Amino acid sequence: MRVKAFASLLALLLLAIAAPDNARAESAAGSYRFSFEDGATKTLDFDAVKRADGSTVGQMYLTDEATLVLRDVDGAGDTSAKYAGYNIKATFDNMVVNKNQAVMSGVITDSSVRELIGKRVLLTVEDNGDNTRVPDKVTWGIYNPVTRDWVATDAERKDDDGASLKWRATDAERKDDEGIEMPRDESTTTASFPLDSYDFVQPETESGDIRVAP
């Protein structure tokens, strides 16, 4: 009986030792409601966790009452469509946390505007604690996915399959250089911009709470 009791106690101690590692996982979450001079309300809900293997799981939901104007950026820049408000749902695939700031990247999986589905999104937040003097901060961006559907070939050789292979660019003078895989991934990710380069929005009204755990 004592052996069983000791085994149970040992199991509880092991769980208690392992718990802090899970509790220290990088995470960001929050709900934020804000508006600018136009009075249109924006509501953001998000959560993201970085697992021990380096992968990120999480989602964000954004609703915006402001008019969304889509433009033909590949043409003359003319207005292609207007929407009286919109919403998006995105699934995160990466996150970087530095002190009280976090940037999350992902892809829009659902939206009231069909043209936004499949685009990349970056959400950057700053947790300034529970105070009214320095509010939490947020900014976001939506980006077109990069598609390279052409292959460089020698026009004089019909048997040339083109530069379709992948390779690693390295410094030949440094044996310890792991190099960079080429062609490089040009998708918009958390590595696309330095964390301190983001310009947070300055709303007229705001409420909610953002939490970042490094």
pLDDT at 174: 76
Q: Are strands 101-111 and 41-50 parallel, antiparallel or unpaired?
A: unpaired
- C-alpha distances (whole Å) from 26 to each of 53, 102, 138, 207 are 12, 9, 18, 24
pLDDT at 74: 57
Query: Cβ of 8: how many Cβ atoms within 10 Å?
Result: 10
pLDDT at 16: 45
Upper half-sphere CA count for residue 59 (Cβ side, 13 Å): 8
Query: Cβ of 13: how many Cβ atoms within 10 Å?
Result: 10
This model's pTM is above 0.75: no
Nearest to 83 by CA among 65, 98, 62, 61: 65
Q: Are 189 and 105 in contact (CB under 8 A)?
A: yes
pLDDT one digit per residue (tens) for the chain, 214 residues? 444 444 444 444 444 444 444 446 899 999 999 999 999 999 999 999 999 998 999 999 999 999 998 876 555 545 578 899 999 999 999 999 999 999 999 999 999 999 999 999 999 999 998 866 889 999 999 988 765 555 556 566 666 565 555 656 677 777 776 665 555 555 677 777 787 888 899 999 999 999 999 9
Residue 169, helix vs strand vs coil: strand
Residue whose structure tokens are 């996915």: 145
pLDDT at 24: 65
pLDDT at 107: 95
pLDDT at 101: 95
